[in-house]
Amino acid sequence: MQLAPQHVAIIGAGPIACASACYLKNHGHHVALWSPTGRRLHIDLPTQQACFQTHGAVSAQVCVDWLPTQQALSDYPVVLICLPGHLYQDLFSTLLPQLKNGQTVLISGALSLASIWLSDQARQLGLELQVGAWSTTATTAHFLADGQVHINELRSTIGVSSACAQDSQSILSLSQTLLGDRFIADDNPLASTLANINPIAHAAEVIPNLSRITRQEDWSLFACFGIEVGRIAQKLDEERLAIGKHFGFELRSLVEHYHRSYHVPKGPLHEMAAAIEAAGKGPLGPKGLNHRYVLEDMPFGLAFQERLAILAGIPCPIHSSALTLLEVVYDQDLRSSNFLLDQLLEDTQALNYLVNRLSAAA
């Protein structure tokens, strides 16, 4: 495919935002970053450049434009959101007034049907936006101890959906223009949301390693992915796949996801994790409880899947057990941390309305 250069503004300055900026720039696009802090990056204010060093699949010094204010986002036809879900509510309330008709907003790593909510909020403000979501991030990445970024290869297959059916083909074509033919159309935004495996993987990885996290140890996520972690992940994945099947989606399994994302042979999950670690592609695990693996992925991923299952009458005991256990550990109601649950899935009637709406738009 002949790639037409795009002007893309990325919201975020974490590892996924940096990795996305690196790959977009390597694909010939003009890239800018905006973040409230950008504290891990070297930002040259006089030249308005943000620079960072990458290792792994790409070893390079990457420099892109740094946007000093949110208002500057309106100058970019494409806006890519690479922020944790627990920042969505505050971000969207300040972001939308800065955007203008005709822009495309892509959410990297679909969670909780955020694309639907964002599209509806924009429409209420009289904004005509194209809003889409990728089923997962374009790659995996993590910060190294010295602040440099380790990035892995681009995923071979990424689902993409649009909040409005009439925009589906343009959202798909734009995604392919940005990063190649790895993008395929999902049935609808619910399929993209359920395809995101981070919530089940991170729940399984965190729970057996809580003592390492609270002791703030340096521990490798995949080196500590033993057979017991694999059992939890497998059971959570079976429940996720059952939810998807109920709504008519044939989702890829966690095994398939690790195979495609990390390019390791298929097998038992703990053996695949060992292969990922041996290839040097695994990040360190969380060094404290204040981490997105729980604060983002449990409310906006696992709790969303649990709410879907409960309203649809699908058993999900492992989801519920994992959430309840982590709520005890955190002394926090993680389920209520997701404002989108009551916005989109308050009750069975809301679920039926949502499913009918998405089915009609597909």
pLDDT(128) > 90: yes
CATH architecture of the domain 197-355 equals: Orthogonal Bundle (1.10)
User: What is the structure's pLDDT at 338?
Assistant: 94
Rounded to whole angstroms, the Cα distance separating 247 from 155 reads: 25
Q: What is the pLDDT of residues 7-18, one digit of tens each?
A: 999 999 999 999
For the segment 189-199, the average pLDDT, to the nearest whole number, is 92
- CATH 1.10.1040.10 residue window(s) in the chain: 197-355
pLDDT digits (tens, 9 = 90+) for 210-248: 999 999 999 999 999 999 999 999 999 999 999 999 999
Question: Which residue in the block uniquely carries the two structure tokens 């109601």?
Answer: 333
- At residue 74, the pLDDT reads 94
CB 40 within 8 A of CB 13: yes
Mean pLDDT of all residues belonging to the chain: 92
Of 1 and 51, the structure prediction assigns the larger pLDDT to 51
The CATH 3.40.50.720 domain(s) of the chain lie at: 7-194
- What are the tens digits of pLDDT across the range 63-75? 999 998 999 999 9
pTM (predicted TM-score): 0.87
pLDDT recorded at residue 1: 43
Q: How confident is the model at residue 277 (pLDDT cuts 50, 70, 90)?
A: very high
* pLDDT tens by residue, 167-184: 999 999 999 999 999 999
pLDDT value at 332 more than 70: yes
DSSP per position, 52-63: EEEEES--EEEE
pLDDT for the residue 3: 57
Query: What fold, for 7-194?
Result: Rossmann fold (3.40.50)
